Amino acid sequence: MAKYVVTGSSGRIGRAIHFTLSRNHEVVGVDVTPASSTTLISDICDEDQLKRAFHGADAVFHCAALHAPHVGLKSDEEFQRINVRGTECVIDGAKAEGVPQIIFTSTTALYGDASNLENRAAWITEETEPHPRTIYHRSKIHAEALLRDAASSQLNIKVIRMSRSFPEPAPVMATYRLHRGVDARDVADAHLAALKDTGRAFDTYVISGQTPFLADDAHALKTDAASVIRERAPSLAKLFDLHNWALPTSIDRVYAPTKAAKVLSWKSKYDFREVLHQLEKCNSEVLPPDACGSKVEE
């Protein structure tokens, strides 16, 4: 039985990873916030606690971070401390304890203004240059750079740039699953798939729902997204018609998980149909269609 450590184990993604791993492995959850998925209550910058948690671990899944909803509520200095200094502490702890792998939870949000193209939707891949807007974006880019520099033949590091995974109104979430959203369970599966990727010492993967769109759709997605959806995803369009929901008129970006599919053999399982299923079950992860005040900036 392998031993894995999950930092940020009380958060949505940390919990999903912990749940997936704990069925077959020993899992140590580390978080400053208590939860059933958290074994050790600790600040991510407490190096002594991290070293104790990392002792004998086969890999660390580093999810602990401040996120987009914290922008404006937490200081820039706190973002730097948690997201950047915290990552340094994870790297140092892993090296000190001989942990051979780190899987880092990053975000597609760091592409920022790269999606603001005038006449077409941006087709976002790992090769797209980030254009950060907020301290959250900048701190994640900084953390990725630290991990890139730390990767070696003794420490394999993979970065998972996950797309949007907030609770949102059902029509919004269902549409996002086509181009800029993903289920937390699929994110967890991507982290586990990356664990098996021991090729290059460092690599990055965009993780998002499998898109029906093609790169050639970029202009039409920006100007007449509804028509493209009716062509490429007719079953979603039919469901929207059934519920009397309006299709989006414009889509500004597509996060393309092509590399993850090719290299990791990973594909999302939970598409827009799952959103409707969860809505019917009154799952709190999916808000009712008329929910207001639910907008969360990336």
pLDDT at 106: 98
pTM > 0.85: yes or no: yes
Structural domains of the chain, with CATH: 3-116+123-167+183-210+255-270 (3.40.50.720)
pLDDT in tens, 200-218: 999 999 999 999 999 999 9
pLDDT in tens, 142-165: 999 999 999 999 999 999 999 999
pLDDT in tens, 61-71: 999 999 999 99
pLDDT in tens, 245-279: 999 999 999 999 999 999 999 999 999 999 999 99
> At 242, is the pLDDT very low, low, confident or very high (cuts 50, 70, 90)?
very high
Whether the pLDDT of residue 74 is over 90: the answer is yes
Q: What does the alpha-carbon distance between residue 118 and residue 123 come to, in Å, rounded to a whole number? A: 13
